[in-house]
């Protein structure tokens, strides 16, 4: 039986995606937001993959209850649990899911590394992480109304498991025990094997479906979801979210107004033009677009798009023009007889 589904992450995704299109969010901040989105989507994908395998067997079982996505706060400690499976023997399977797209390696010392871009990168041990979750969960269970036998309160047992994608590669050491790290499609076999090898005394704790459901509902009632404060995390201000001011475009100076190459022109084609332009403007505190982009850690095309978003440049018929706002910010249009058109910008231009 599935008693709780995972909380929707749609609001989080939409909030982060809205910041990517906000005109006042700096490029460097947008890079951090894109990384956050990547991790969030990977986490959602991993949880969905594991949830499918969990629900396929345990979700349809009359002797088990499945709870997805629980967050508990107890005595100043927090446990964020991906999945719980409870059965009528009062066994509680605490499942931590990880989406390792390129695989994971575990050393003899129990250290975990994931593969990213073909290179290993160390991460905190999900086994230790899950043990901390169980420590909080044990204290939470002490607050529940639990069944009794002969006046003695029945105590649950806890099993810690880390689930990875069924397509992930797991590099296992020879001696360190990694039996509790398994692919999500191996979970059912692990549970059945664990039940078969259990003590006959476990039957003394066998409870009814109604009793198990009561315990599970108490856990759901203690769930404390948390919406991340992305505004604070990425220092997003109200000003950054305001639409860029619309400034009337300047008409061309003459019928044959100089125009810069269109944005689809390769960046390397612009480099010789602006490199020479910088030489011509020696003695001024201004940089060409390509030099300003380099100083900001961006590509020229990315900076050009940013300047358009800020209203400092505009596109007309595939060509780029400087606006009145761009001129007010210190931007200049120049034409080199040898290299063609280019823009100059203050070195400290706010991006």
- What is the full per-residue pLDDT of the chain (351 aa) written as tens digits? 999 999 999 999 999 999 998 888 888 899 999 999 988 998 888 888 889 889 998 998 999 999 999 999 999 999 999 999 999 999 999 999 987 777 889 999 999 998 777 778 899 999 999 999 999 999 999 999 999 988 899 999 999 999 988 888 899 999 999 999 999 899 999 999 887 776 666 677 889 999 999 999 999 999 999 889 999 999 998 888 887 654 444 444 444 444 444 333 344 444 444 444 444 444 457 888 888 888 888 888 888 888 888 888 887 766 788 998 889 888 998 877 666 788 898 988 887
Pairing of strands 64-74, 2-4: parallel
Q: What is the DSSP string of 271-316?
A: HHHHHHHHHHTTTSSEEEHHHHHHHTT--HHHHHHHHHHTTSEEEE
Pairing of strands 157-164, 181-183: parallel
Are 25 and 244 a contacting pair, CB within 8 Å? Answer: no
CA distance 26 to 38: 19
Strand order in the sheet with 112-116: 119-123, 112-116, 104-106, 170-171
Return the DSSP state at 90: -
User: Is pTM, for the whole model, over 0.75?
Assistant: no
């Amino acid at each position: 039986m599935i008693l709780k589904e995972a909380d929707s992450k749609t609001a989080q995704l939409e909030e982060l995606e809205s910041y990517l299109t906000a005109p006042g969010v700096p490029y460097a901040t947008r890079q951090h937001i894109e990384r956050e989105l990547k991790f969030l989507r990977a986490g959602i994908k991993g949880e969905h993959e594991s949830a499918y395998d969990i629900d396929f067997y345990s979700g349809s079982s009359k002797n088990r209850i499945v709870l997805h996505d629980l967050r508990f706060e107890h005595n100043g400690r927090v446990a964020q649990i991906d999945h719980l499976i409870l059965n009528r023997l009062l066994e509680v399977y605490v499942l931590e899911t990880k989406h390792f797209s390129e695989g994971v390696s575990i050393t003899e010392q129990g250290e975990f590394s994931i593969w990213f871009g073909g290179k290993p990168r160390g991460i905190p041990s999900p086994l230790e992480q899950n043990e901390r979750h169980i420590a909080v969960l044990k204290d939470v269970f002490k607050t529940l109304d639990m069944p009794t036998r002969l006046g003695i309160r029945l105590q649950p047992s806890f099993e810690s498991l880390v689930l990875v994608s069924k397509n992930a590669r797991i590099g296992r050491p020879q001696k360190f025990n990694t039996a509790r790290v398994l692919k999500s499609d191996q979970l059912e076999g692990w549970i059945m094997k664990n039940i078969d090898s259990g003590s006959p005394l476990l039957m003394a704790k066998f409870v009814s479906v109604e009793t198990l459901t009561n315990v599970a509902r108490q856990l759901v009632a203690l769930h404390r979801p948390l919406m991340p404060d992305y505004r604070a995390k990425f220092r997003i201000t109200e000003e950054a979210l305001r639409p860029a001011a619309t400034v009337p475009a300047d008409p061309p100076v003459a019928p044959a107004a100089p125009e810069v190459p269109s944005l689809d022109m390769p960046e390397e084609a612009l480099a010789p033009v602006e490199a020479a332009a910088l030489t011509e403007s020696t003695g001024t505190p201004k940089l060409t677009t390509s030099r300003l982009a380099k100083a900001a850690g961006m590509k020229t095309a990315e900076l050009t798009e940013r300047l358009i978003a800020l209203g400092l440049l505009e596109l007309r018929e595939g060509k780029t023009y400087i606006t009145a706002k761009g001129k007010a910010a210190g931007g200049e249009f120049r034409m080199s007889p040898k290299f063609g058109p280019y823009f100059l910008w203050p070195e400290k231009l706010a991006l």
